[in-house]
Structure 1
């Protein structure tokens, strides 16, 4: 920044700078005015436009046309008044209404002086052609959304022109075959309205070009809506649907697109294409579509040309070429695994995941430009300040002007002289540093602005010194933290610029910085969330495969035990295998809970048991120099909650304590019972109720916690560890678990003397929940089909069931199992079906199996799904759900109960 220094008189100093500032302000104001005032906003006569619609308000197509026309013409004309009429032809068809309606229009508009009429769709155009000479004589007419070419070309060309709504069914058929090459048949869904009949004829004409495809026509004159949806459900898997229109069925029922198209999409298991952009987002993939917005924009452009007097309707040919374009629903593309590079060129994709820059890129650029203008203005004002400081007669006025400007800036600004002493500080800088201007001015910058490194919390120098030495702009590191006067911390970024006079001599510096704490925390949270999501998906996949392997191990071990005579030494080893497999299954359940595939439980649990299991996990992982001292003195220890969450909380606290004792020490874990009265609970910051509690204390002999950071230790992402050695989520997670269990947590610490965390959990009078283990096996008779893609599962399940007395067939996939059922629907008494299989899932196989042999009971097994995930299948007749891995006794009980239910 340069400051001009000379001996010129005061006016000569002030006016050039002031004039430059005024010029920039006028430029900004004039630019803003240019951008916001319509081009034709002069004193011209107000335009009056009547929009006559065939259909009703609320019909998406019509609303798009009206809205687009209004917006387009409002941007072109400063003064415009719209009159909007709806003939409601979709819902009410009565020839007598035309006579009454023409009389109504004649009375309403005979003295209004309408400048132009815009007509949407065929019915309104036919009507207006009849009454134009009488009601709107000499008034130009622009039409749009016309399906009938004959209707469009039979107008009086002296007064009428417009655009035909030409739907491209042929291109949509070609699009279906491009995206789904294996398509064997296409269903055309069209009602009995003019639009539906017209598009059906287009489809029949186009069908001649595609002789290798069969076409199914679902006509609104022949079917009611329920029958049409039933036909869609029966379509073969290699089919597709093109649904141009279904707004009225044979029974006269009328529908809007928001209610009928989701039903069409839900009924059809195959891709659904459309011809109207208004139906995107309602379940269709998309297609080469027309839209009210397209028709409305074209009509508005024609109307603007006529209203300006440049042309008359007869000079503008009726547009019969299609205005369609390819538009698609991103969510449906994902549903049917259609990559974007297979779409036609210049396709428009809607409902994509939100991108701030793509959505608001013009705003971003606009804000950036305005910000640069403000920065430029600030620099000019600072130059003016240096001028005005040498002029005593104008000091007061200049000081006030600068103060107001600096307070309006969105960044913190501090300026200094050549010695580094603060000469000015704005309000935002006062807030961030917690130094009032009166106290800050005159102090050295290093005294007011304390900067530390986010990496190691060490003090770093501000860029001031370098700026004053070499006169260059210096920026902050991204990991710079500003510590306020009262120890508040902010992540900041920006720069320090030197202030020089016209001779190039540095006379001071200006420090401009911005608080980016919120942006940083959002970025860290996003990165951590993405990592946790990936880990969760991996955990779920591992648990699925692991459960299948455990099922094989358990089944094989039980089979060996069953076939061994008597009780031998081998049985002891088999017991070890079964016990270890059971523990592994429990571990898998925890893994699935972590992966988000199992809902955290809310049962009665023993806090002492949870602590003992936590200690067992830690004994072989903690540093050998760290001792664990366990004193479980509480008499009552049952609480309601999630055992895995509480174990995780205890684990976090213990590991956190071990990190504070790098040279070794002792971690003391103790419990006690305590009663909290109402006064304590009311004063607590936690939502706790008076009553009996169990207190869990985790105390260490580590380094302790600094007093100034104790209030922040439970904040997400706050950590004193070096980068890469901790996320700052551990104590935040503990805090969340305690809150979920209606408890409270507190911490006491002293530097050099260790820390103590106390958790209070409300006790319950309910009896402890215990797992009921089924040990008795139940034999039976019947023929069972086992469908599972894992060979291990097929082998062990077949052997177990045959050992129980059943006859067993196996299938390695859903398709194979379905084929066996189709061959002999009454041969099997029971089907055991795996949930997750390649090709055809257990859910899909179950649905198709029930259509072939609805009486056969089905047991669903999975090592990945929750029982509540298959509730819809239970509603459809699923007999039983059994989680992998399962024991012979549990399987025999499930089979016995499923067969007993139908006997």
Structure 2
């Protein structure tokens, strides 16, 4: 390609009459060349430039390398999407990610506003230890109280000697009076006096100021500042303050007041039952009353308050980041004093000002005003015309791209032959003189120049076309990457660079591209293999030999989105086109994924209470059965009730499995007995027959038998509904090896493929991609419609097993589900046989039961008493600790303590365990939980528990758990 570069350079040379080609320089010097008299000065000037460059390089060699990446961890107390927290994050990023600092920022959210479990610090410490063990941080920034308290408690064990900068911490916090090594930051200080001063200046006729706060230590400080701010105004202003007022009562009071009062919001309102009402709901209600509302925190802005001297999350974050930058640049954290001057500023809402007839000229100088109206313009019309123009331009670009590429190829082929041709022509010209003006004359060089001159116009045209095409593609929203077959990246369109943020300097090969933009290893392997497998094929525009995929990709800024990727082979190159469907759908997708999350959150939230109720039912059934003989008619009824209760438990577990909150209890099992048992149970009592096809060498799988059984129940239920008149379901089993050539979203390895084929009505081709969506139902199939949520649960379970579900179907031709399940490296475990039964009292010892539900305590105590134990009860962890200490001191210790994991009001099981272990290191504690999503229930030993039992449980299960913990067995 040297010839190409040489000729291209000539296309841009407009200052001379000569032009540069692969064979040398042709033509005569023009006005752009240097006369001989000036050559000396040119040489001297060039020498000085080179000398200056050498000096610069020499000096640069002494400059230390400042490009080493520094890692900063930002821990937020609240959640992403909370206005205050988002403002803090934006402020931190404005300083640390301004493009001048090579800093990698990690952002974490503790979500303390929605999660208040006392053990959350402990769980977070384990999570951060797992997540960040391979990462060495240079700085930690914490926002607000919980993050500050967490880092004080766990900094030395998780991030030893890492300096910490805080923000969002009140100046009244006692920890700020301590001298904690390597911790500094910026405080937040409520400027209530400045807020009230500007409020009274804007409303000179106001005769009363009403403050709203809460009964907390910080609330008391705000109340004191409120009183001090108005103390100097004498009796001209009436001051009233309410702690935790009920919104409806407060609203009625304001309605009955005459105009002329101001309300300062420093806390939350409550409803009639004492629940806190979010400020997003309460503030607009008060704003509609027409009274001036003021506040001290920026997250009230936009909901109806006028403004004030505001504590701003953005400024807090930026101030903390500036301190952090000083530490990263070499200053000691211990040498930087805490900034006790809160970076507050005057902020106002234009909409609220307009409602109360306040003009900007009345505001303090330098005030920030939000929601100011923008000048009207023909924005929508311009956007529409821009979209039409872009589409037309894209069509023109596509129409001309193929001819331009073909024209360029022909010119490149001719240029490849040109060096050889230019070398041979002078030799031939010297041997064969031509006649000019009647005299023989050697004209080899002139003939070469003539040949080059013939090619120059064509090459100039090609250069112009290439530049025009590049400009067209760069101005259009085309996301295009072109690379050679060897993986070298040749071209990235501006549209692609805008979306992903990577330039040609960042990614020089396709390997680097996939590594940076495809975070999922399986998808990365699949796409890389598909790109390598592209063949030339039929390249006509009407029938391109391309393949397209849906993938989740990542941009340079860390954002992740879905897009369509299309590969188009063009001889020795492959064009990769990225669609914009992911960006279009990104605004729609969160609502649906949010609904999925809501289903899981609902299931997880009700699981504990629901399983408590089931425990009471099952426990009483177990107790009732002990008073009956197996041949009694009532005994059979109780068995049916017990089975129905366990089915209800399974339903809750299905929803939790769908939410991916449930923990798998996997073991190595033989696949055929597992599937056959599930099939018999699912088809029992129906007019559907089953047929099995299998080999003798099937490998065992690693599976949770109960959840795989749920998958089979779902698939076979859909098969039954598709065959209302009866039929046959064929189940086939085979060992398969999956590689990247199969284009399946699976890791390379061995799998057992289970295929379930029915003879039903089938599924339309357009519906196959949506059958796993819980919001899709095949209503056009009448009474034989499938259960969308069930298939969504099945898909979630198989994915949690690191497997995959594939579907083949056509309308009227039956449906086949293919399940890919990973092979186990261990032999299949032996099946457990036999049942335990309660024959009479066998227990011996004292048991302490802690549960916040009285009904659970009663039924558990009754079952334990029937087994033979002495039982005592506690309603929360604090009461359990007191009873355990009292029993130990009176030499009547408890043999086992059963602790409820989650307590609505009071100390929970995790915190109680730590205190009990401090009292008695040999204490035997069983954790009891109604929620299978907590890893404590599956890895109880790592947390210090002896056993775990899941609610709801029966009497025989309770007895089994206690075996070996007391002297009874």
Q: TM-score range by the shorter chain?
A: 0.3 to 0.5
TM-score of the aligned structures, taking structure 2 as reference length:
0.38
TM-score, normalised to structure 1, is: 0.41
